[in-house]
């Protein structure tokens, strides 16, 4: 029972959860090979699974593998959480920062190699600080997206990632206040066990948030396709009528104006459809300017358009 509730056991359990999500994301990457953010999130769980397993096997594998490689992979995975979110919102992905953060583990182990407990202490502090830093950056990306894209769950996701950050930053004093004990080379610590278990909950929450945000973006894109004229970007007839109905449902009236492009068929026949499309785009741009702020966005159907200005 004591072995079941040990740090290595919970790390191996966490690695198993990471492995399941790795396989799930691998299938998504195969289906959508051009999606950078899916590839990055696949790398997150692959690296985290390998890193957690390496750390859990401390004492049965070389220390260079469990301490340097294991922690390095785990910190790289934390950085890729942030990179994946940046890619999800179409922003530049700076791969160098997570790699540099991961390489910071090596000098810690090298210079403190004479003291196993001291090196372990500073590796934990470094890992907690890295987690807090990268989760805070991820929350920042989500807060920026609230203004840019307006996905409904982005604010809640930003709050959850901020809580991830605060939990890890708040844990920074724990290795000093309650040093991790070692049974040989195996770490033994109740608070570390609890923090790793909390990381398991965070992992499930992060995957759920990714699914929710992706579904919201897809639903938003489908609504846009259903309600928008592809050529001009103006609302189509169905969307316009729905907006008018919603406006009239408030009990106030309004003014309806119908506009038409004269001789549009002759333009198409004489100069071709490309020229006709250019005329419609110019006409749509003019309608947007005429509508101003007091009217609903005009609708365009073939060569006719409609304005509705609520009273």
CATH number, domain at 261? Answer: 3.30.70.270
Q: How far apart are CA 48 and CA 233, in angstroms?
A: 43
DSSP letters along 170-194, please?
HTTTHHHHSPPEEETTEEE-HHHHH
Residue 65: inside a domain, yes or no?
yes
Q: What is the pLDDT of residue 68?
A: 83
Domain final position from 206, 227, 248: 227
Q: Distance (Å, rounded) from C-alpha 277 to C-alpha 266?
A: 13
* 25 has pLDDT over 70: yes
pLDDT tens-place string over residues 58-117: 778 787 777 788 889 989 999 999 999 999 999 999 999 999 998 888 776 666 555 666
211 plus 255 within the same structural domain? no
- Is the backbone of residue 251 left (phi > 0), alpha (psi -120 to 50) or beta? left
Residue 126 tokens read as 């470094």
**Residue for token pair 């610590």:** 189
Question: Which of these, 299, 292, 302, lies nearest to 233 by C-alpha position?
Answer: 299
Q: How far apart are CA 207 and CA 55, in angstroms?
A: 23
For residues 132 and 251, membership in a common domain is answered with: no
Q: Where does the pLDDT of residue 3 fall: very low under 50, low under 70, confident under 90, or very high at 90 and above? A: very low
Same domain, 124 and 208: yes
Q: Both 223 and 242 in a single domain?
A: no
Chain-wide mean pLDDT for the chain?
Answer: 81
Residue 78 lies in a domain: yes
Note whether 13 and 138 are same-domain residues: yes
- The pLDDT, as a whole number, for residue 110 is 62
Residue 133 lies in a domain: yes
Q: Is residue 293 part of a domain?
A: yes
In a domain, 109, yes or no: yes
* pLDDT tens per residue, range 196-244: 888 777 777 888 888 888 888 888 888 877 777 777 667 777 777 777 7
Same-domain status, 57 and 139:
yes
pLDDT for position 96: 93
Q: Is the pLDDT reported for residue 39 higher than 70?
A: yes
**Secondary structure class of 299 (helix, strand, coil):** strand
Q: Please indicate, yes or no, whether residues 270 and 183 belong to a single structural domain of this protein.
A: no
Same domain, 61 and 138: yes
173, part of any domain: yes
How far is residue 144's CA from residue 89's CA, in Å, rounded to a whole number? 9
Determine how many CB atoms are found less than 10 A away from the CB of residue 38.
22
| Structural domain that includes position 145 | 2-227
- Picking from 227, 260, 293, the residue at the C-terminal end of a domain is 227
Identify the domain boundary among 227, 247, 279.
227
Token representation of residue 35: 């999606």
Same domain, 216 and 247: no
What percent of the chain is predicted at pLDDT more than 90? 27
Say which residues have a Cβ less than 8 Å from residue 26's Cβ, sequence separation at least 6: 42
Read off the pLDDT band of 2 (50, 70, 90): very low
The answer on 30 and 112 residing in a single domain is yes
Q: Are residues 269 and 303 both part of a single domain?
A: yes
Structural domains counted in the chain: 2
Is residue 232 assigned to a domain?
Answer: no
- pLDDT value, residue 100: 92
**Is 221 within the bounds of a domain?**
yes
Q: Judge if 175 and 36 occupy the same domain.
A: yes
């Amino acid at each position: 029972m004591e072995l079941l509730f040990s740090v290595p056991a919970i790390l191996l359990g966490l690695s198993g959860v990471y492995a399941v999500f790795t396989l799930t994301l691998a299938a998504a990457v195969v289906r959508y090979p051009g999606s950078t953010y899916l590839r990055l999130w696949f790398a997150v769980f692959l690296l985290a699974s390998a890193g957690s397993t390496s750390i859990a096997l401390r004492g049965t594998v070389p220390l260079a593998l469990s301490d340097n490689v294991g922690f390095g992979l785990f910190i790289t995975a934390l950085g890729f959480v942030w990179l994946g979110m940046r890619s999800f919102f179409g922003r530049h992905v700076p791969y160098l920062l997570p790699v540099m953060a991961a390489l910071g583990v090596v000098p810690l182990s090298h210079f403190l190699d004479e003291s196993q407990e001291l090196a372990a202490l500073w590796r934990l502090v470094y890992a907690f600080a890295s987690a807090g830093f990268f989760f805070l950056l991820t929350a920042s990306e989500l807060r920026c997206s609230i203004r840019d894209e307006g996905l409904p769950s982005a604010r809640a996701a930003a709050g959850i990632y901020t809580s991830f950050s605060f939990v890890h930053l708040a844990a920074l004093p724990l290795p000093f206040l309650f040093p991790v004990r070692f049974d040989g080379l195996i770490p033994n610590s109740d608070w570390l066990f609890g923090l790793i278990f909390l990381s398991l909950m965070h992992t499930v929450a992060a995957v759920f948030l990714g699914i929710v945000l992706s579904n919201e973006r897809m639903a938003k894109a489908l609504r846009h396709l259903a309600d928008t004229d592809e050529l001009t970007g103006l609302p189509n007839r169905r969307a316009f009528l729905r907006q008018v109905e919603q406006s009239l449902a408030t009990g106030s009236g309004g003014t309806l104006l119908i506009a038409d492009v004269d001789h549009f068929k002759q333009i198409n026949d004489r100069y071709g459809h490309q020229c006709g499309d250019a005329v419609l785009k110019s006409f749509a741009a003019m309608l947007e300017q005429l509508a101003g702020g007091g009217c609903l966005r005009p609708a365009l159907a073939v060569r006719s358009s409609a304005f509705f200005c609520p009273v």
